[in-house]
Amino acid sequence: MEWSLGAGRSDDMVRVVYNLWPVWFNGDRAGEAAAWLHRVDQDPVSPELDWLHGMFAFQTGDYVESADRFERALTGFEANEDPYGIALSRVFVGALSDPVEGEAMLADAHAYFRAENQHLGQFLALLLTSVKVVEADDLPRALELRRQLLEDARALGYDEVVAWSHWNLANALMGLGRIDEAAKENRIAFETFAALRYHEGISSASENVAIFAASNEQWEPAVLIHGACEAIWDRLGVRGWWEIVPHIANAMSAARASLGDGEYQGLEAQGRTLAVDDLVELAQATMSS
């Protein structure tokens, strides 16, 4: 990629990164990828470049920038008559649109990927459809969709995707107050992420462990885990998933009220110093207690 920039072939670099987007998306390298892309942002834009900026903005929680970039990507792919790019853009434009319009766009994209036997695209469309359903506060339907998502992921045979499916299923169960079932699904996700040494996955599943620990008034491990997860988000340049944010905020608010500001802040700061292996060990011990 450095050679491509020096040789004036940044368009080739963008195409490579675009075609390998799952590697960047599921490889703890979103921040690194975004840095490369910003180095070519002054060049004539392409729908691939807009799509990538949109995807990494989505991952880092900048949904305003993400929506703008995906809209531009969609317009560009439509002008180029690129059906794959159109469908891939509609997935995210739909995810960032109002519930009715968004779900219709996601359904169109899902139908395209299914017809083209593009399993990862199908998975992504179904996942973000379930997100729109969560936004509409229809958690029973979201749970149904996420059970289907897990079946599709198993058929795909991509370990990270299977683990994310268990994690998303845990989130739907948690939203419904089915904490024991949620903890079971989350543990499956955690064990896979830990075995893969996938830091974003470890942090995502560990945040749920912190929520479950706080619900049992295990304040110290809950805050330590939360601090360690925050450090991972900062290092990777991404943020935790919005669906979990209110749960962790409530858990940490309860922990702060019980521990007091001083002890809470001390534990969170201590958690931020934990190595990833230490976080894994702490989360495993907390799940077993």
Q: What is the pLDDT of residue 44?
A: 63
Note whether 93 and 74 are within 8 A (CB).
Answer: yes
Q: Is residue 270 scored above 80 in pLDDT?
A: yes
Q: What is the pLDDT of residue 43?
A: 58
Note whether 140 and 132 are within 8 A (CB).
Answer: no
| Region 223-246 average pLDDT | 91
The sign one gets for the Cα dihedral 105, 106, 107, 112 is positive
Per the prediction, the chain carries an average pLDDT of 92
Q: What is the rounded distance in angstroms from the CA atom of residue 123 to the CA atom of residue 158?
A: 11
Q: What is the pLDDT of residue 109?
A: 96
Q: What is the pLDDT of residue 275?
A: 97
**Residue predicted with more confidence, 132 or 25:** 132
Q: How far is CA 201 from the centre of its chain?
A: 8
Task: Give the three-class secondary structure for 239.
Answer: coil
Q: Is residue 257 scored above 80 in pLDDT?
A: yes
Q: Which residues contact 143 (CB under 8 A, 6 or more apart)?
A: 169, 172, 173, 176
End-to-end CA distance of the chain: 47
Phi-psi category of residue 158: left, alpha or beta, with phi > 0 → left and psi -120 to 50 → alpha: beta
Per residue in 142-184, pLDDT (tens digit) is: 999 999 999 999 988 889 999 999 999 999 999 999 999 999 9
Per residue in 203-215, pLDDT (tens digit) is: 999 999 999 999 9
Per residue in 21-77, pLDDT (tens digit) is: 877 777 777 777 778 878 885 656 789 999 998 988 888 888 899 999 999 999 999
Note whether 96 and 67 are within 8 A (CB).
Answer: yes
Q: What is the DSSP letter of 43?
A: S
E strand or H helix that includes residue 65:
helix 63-80
Amino acid symbol at 122 = Q
Q: pTM above 0.85?
A: yes
Q: What is the pLDDT of residue 41?
A: 59
Q: How far is CA 235 from the centre of its chain?
A: 15
Q: Is residue 236 scored above 90 in pLDDT?
A: no
Q: What is the DSSP letter of 260?
A: -
Q: What is the pLDDT of residue 258?
A: 98
Note whether 77 and 86 are within 8 A (CB).
Answer: yes
97, 135, 89: which is closest to 113 by C-alpha? 89
Note whether 195 and 188 are within 8 A (CB).
Answer: no
Token output for 41: 């942002």
Per residue in 101-116, pLDDT (tens digit) is: 899 999 999 999 999 9
Q: What is the rounded distance in angstroms from the CA atom of residue 36 to the CA atom of residue 70?
A: 18
